[in-house]
Amino acid sequence: MTDKQPQTRLDARYSDETATAVPWPEAERLLAEAELFWISTVRPDGRPHVTPLPAVWSQGALHFCTGPEERKARNLAANPHLVLTTGTNIWDKGYDLVVEGEAVRITDEARLRELAAAWEAKYGSFWHFDVADGCFRHGAGHAYVYSVAPSTVFGFGKGEPFSQTRWRFTQEEQQWTSRSK
């Protein structure tokens, strides 16, 4: 987890009177433990594209992989801005997180090996990746790996008390996180 702390604010418009802002370390823990995320990208013609995928939280950023010919990779080649969401499908229980950021492709093989180990530790041997040529290798295929340092994260507490927390990262923190990849 990063030692950089974002600006944290509870939005009273969407929160119960007794709600308090969730501390960033708690949101980081939820991101690290989440198994499934929904990625939203934009096609070159402006239409949205959403699909589920696994992701790993490491060094202050979410990481995901995708084949270079998959729609999300093609979308990111034209527009790296995206949203990753995770949470529950229950309206009055749990906590949902929405991460806004920009995808940066990771090609450093030492970093890719660290991330491959993190994937397997989190998801099991089905998600074993080898690393070669700046990609994850799995069977006959290969995948690009992306890092998303959050620019803004929204958290939605569901149930009593309902709440909305926003964590905003300054430009300096985003650059620090990008340099740490």
Structure confidence by residue, pLDDT tens digits, 20-32: 999 999 999 999 9
Range of the domain at 36: 7-179
Count up the domains in the chain and report the number. Answer: 1
| Interval 5-15 mean pLDDT | 94
In a domain, 2, yes or no: no
Full-model pTM: 0.90
d(CA 80, CA 101) in angstroms, rounded, equals 8
Q: How sure is the predictor about 171, in pLDDT bands with cuts at 50, 70 and 90?
A: low
The single residue listed with the structure tokens 């949101």 is: 27
Domain of residue 68, CATH code: 2.30.110.10
In a domain, 163, yes or no: yes
What's residue 109's pLDDT?
97
In a domain, 16, yes or no: yes
Q: Does the pLDDT at position 175 exceed 50?
A: no
In a domain, 148, yes or no: yes
Q: In whole angstroms, how far apart are CA 128 and each of 23, 111, 176? A: 33, 15, 29
CB neighbours of 142 closer than 8 A, spacing ≥ 6? 67, 68, 132, 133, 135, 136
In a domain, 69, yes or no: yes
In a domain, 1, yes or no: no
Strand-strand pairing, 81-86 and 95-106: antiparallel
Q: Name the residue with higher pLDDT: 53 or 5.
A: 53
Q: Does the pLDDT at position 75 exceed 90?
A: yes
pLDDT in tens, 95-145: 999 999 999 999 999 999 999 999 999 999 999 999 999 999 998 899 999
Which two three-digit tokens encode residue 18?
Answer: 């007794």
What's residue 3's pLDDT?
54
The per-residue pLDDT of the chain, averaged, comes to: 92
